[in-house]
Amino acid sequence: MEDGVFRRTVMNAWSAGRARDICIVLVLALTATPAFAAEMTADAINAAEVSKKSLSNDKPTPAGVRLQVLLDRAHFSPGEIDGRFGENARKALRAYAEARQLPGSDSPTEEVWKALRTDGRPATLTYTITEQDVAGPFLNKLPAKMEDMKDIPKLGFTSPREALAEKFHMSERLLAALNPGQRFDRAGDTIVVVDTASAGEEAQAKADRVEVDKVRQTVKLFDKSNALIGFYPATVGSTEKPSPSGTLKVTEISKNPFYRYNPAYRFKGVKSRKPFTIKPGPNNPVGTVWINLSADGYGIHGTPSPDKISKAESHGCVRLTNWDAERVAARVAKGTPVAFTDDRYPTAAR
């Protein structure tokens, strides 16, 4: 039950003197609250053992969070960390097994879980909110239409909660569940977050080539030895502007890019027949980074909606979460080849 509906229903029942109705409303509200909220604690996450039984696609679990954190640290991204063992987490798990030459499946095998656990750091940490975290400026609301964004001076976050969730690669709901009652708007407060900091060589390895799988909606990075060193779920192309085929090259990398709309694309939902520019910010249509490719109008970029990666169409480009786009940008360079494939049997790492 939404908070506003809940409050109005309780107040109406109270005004009418209907105590029984209030009790019913409270029961409904409690049962409608995500089941994970009561059990989702730092201790539960850090103690969780990953198995087929401890993971769920239907609801977040502590084991799901721990698995996603360990995959994220290894640069085999599950996308937004929300505790669910959904398709993006499954794809990351399969890619991790492929890279380690371990038996792969849709569920974590004992061998894969053992390899992931070599990173023995806790999956969570305590973080102190800084003045910068709450300084803003924050948008009251992100406009739904592109045309309405062009006059906004910065496409920033809508709240400190959104900013902190993205900083730690988390969903806002998971952040709230780990910190019940926290408003996230006061510097000096301590909160629980997941620890996605990479360790060792994973953060330093450079990509010799990039592979974009248009069928599986993924981006893979390979080094000079053809080893798979990075995996990221993606949204690739759309019916109105399909992604390219063949091999392109990285021509430029722009951080905090402007977005320039070309009316020739005639994107669905955009009525303007004149070009316009949207200013930078994490909620800009292309997010916090643009990796330009050698075909006009195509690139690899971030997104204002990390929860929709691999679940919604892009405008022909390759869309990643902002943090994954930033990671890819740090590991490629001008001239890096980017191959677009639609094979049923993708290239395997050696």
Q: Which residues are the active-site residues? A: 301, 317
Alpha-carbon distances of 65 from 110, 218, 291, rounded to whole Å: 18, 21, 29
- Number of neighbouring beta carbons within 10 Å of residue 229: 22
**Ramachandran class of 202: left when φ > 0, alpha when ψ lies in -120 to 50, beta otherwise:** alpha
Angstrom distance (rounded) from CA 234 to CA 215: 11
- Number of neighbouring beta carbons within 10 Å of residue 178: 22
Q: Does the N-terminal peptide bond of residue 137 adopt cis geometry, omega within 30 degrees of 0?
A: yes
Strand-strand pairing, 299-301 and 228-233: unpaired
Cα angle at 321 between 318 and 327, to 5 degrees? 90
Alpha helices by DSSP H, listed for 265-311, are none
Specify the DSSP element, H or E, that contains 132. Answer: helix 131-135
What's the token pair of residue 305?
């909606």
